[in-house]
Amino acid sequence: MRRIDLLAAEIGSTTTVVSAFDKLTTSDPVFLGQGVGSTTVVEGDVRIGLNAAMKDLSTRIGPFEPDRIAATSSAAGGLVMTVHGLVYDMTVKAAKEAALGAGGVIRMVTAGRIRPETADEILEISPRIIILAGGVDYGEEEIVLENARLLATLPLSVPIVYAGNSAIQKQVSAILRAGGKEVLILPNVYPRIDELNIEPARKLIVKLFEEKITQAPGMSHIKEMVNGHLKPTPGAVMDAAVLLQKTLGDLMVLDVGGATTDVHSVAEGSSEIRDKMISPEPFAKRTVEGDLGVYINARNVAETAGLDALQAATGLDPVSELERLRPIPNDDGMRRFVEALTLAAAKEAVNRHVGRIRYLYTPSGRVTVASGKDLTTVKWIIGTGGALTRLDIGARLENALRRRPETGELLPELPQFLTDSDYILAAIGLIAEDYPDAATALMLNSFGMRRDINVSKSKTGD
């Protein structure tokens, strides 16, 4: 039986995929292959599906024994969180960015005082982590303290992360601990006006996921098999994207799924746009669109794109195609229709992710301002997930997501599409921390790029 360095498992809502890697400490790391099994949360133990995927892998590469098993998971509802701050466009936004960047599934966001009826909703959501923020350092205190008092009364045994006004850290901690809560204190995610500090919170949330994952349905025994990193799947994708940006320059990752579409961007943006920004944006940003998917939410995507536009693009009747749609296209017509849906979902998701140029009219004349994420310096669009790794729409995406100045959208100027052909981006997020060089080399292989390629980083306008 051959020994291998690492087995990386991606435990999804319905499918578990395992990827085998070897020679991670050498200059020639190897991706050996993948196996697939059904996720077994419903059966009460994800190890069943994990073992099935490993058995499938062994039929492809032969018997193996991994030195380490690491995993990402979006099963059992994912990393459900609620976020509470003061001003929506300031502290709330900062805390939300930290949660999303870590791979969180945000079920509630509140600004200002948390009302008693809202507390009941928090109980119904039953989050795995609560983030409390609010106030710049040495700013507003009383509303944050009131919110801490209310959260302290909730009959929930979940960690509460405080990342607000640093001047009242001790008071907030004392209030929550008096209510029997597990409290973690972090630097303020919004310490000063127009300044974000979300990375400490993002890293802590990923760590908490690893510690608390055994409390999720079906996950109680996962650590009996997994002796490496455990991360939320979107958080692992973000880690991989951040690593790749160091080699490739500013980039964007798209994952169009059956139910949702994720967009990750890692970009400095241009100095010209930065000077016009009216509020800060994170260097690494994630958005997830729960209404955009090409199977479960296919009808939503079709209506967003327009039925007439879909018919013109495909020559097919969208109503009929929606009725016969399958998770994996089984004929040429269905494939063409899913390609059009995937393109539409990606365009709309990026449209919601990207920033814009706006014009304000003042007594002294017109002023140009920018808000949202600047993607103008993004050189690479990386497609991962089932749809974008199986469908040949890269050239169409390059054109659809290219900047057109007249629209005001801060889209990439001349993006190039890369396909994660080995479907390993989430797995690379598990490798990146311990083996960054190997992770980069494996990802370049998946893109079909030479490892010694001279990759010029996107210009930042400086």
Please state, in angstroms and rounded to a whole number, the distance separating the CA atoms of residues 250 and 269.
8
Residues of the chain where predicted confidence (pLDDT) is lower than 70: 450-462
How confident is the prediction for the chain on average, in pLDDT? 94
What's the pLDDT tens digit per position in 344-357? 999 999 999 999 99
| pTM score | 0.92
Residue 458's pLDDT is 40
Residue 451's pLDDT is 62
Residue 459's pLDDT is 38
DSSP E strands in 92-136: the ranges are 104-111, 129-132
For residue 432, CA distances in Å to 81, 293, 421 come to 25, 28, 18
**Structural domains of the chain, ranges and CATH numbers in brackets:** 2-76+216-228 (3.30.420.40), 79-213 (3.40.50.360), 232-447 (3.30.420)
Please state, in angstroms and rounded to a whole number, the distance separating the CA atoms of residues 216 and 182.
18
Residue type at 260? T
Q: 56, exposed or middle or buried, with CB in 10 Å at 0-12, 13-18, 19+?
A: middle
Residue 135's pLDDT is 95
Alpha-helical segments (H) within 213-297: 233-248, 271-274
Q: 422, exposed or middle or buried, with CB in 10 Å at 0-12, 13-18, 19+?
A: buried
Paired tokens of 415: 């993006």
For residue 239, CA distances in Å to 199, 232, 421, 457 come to 11, 11, 19, 18
Q: How far apart are the first and last CA of the chain?
A: 54
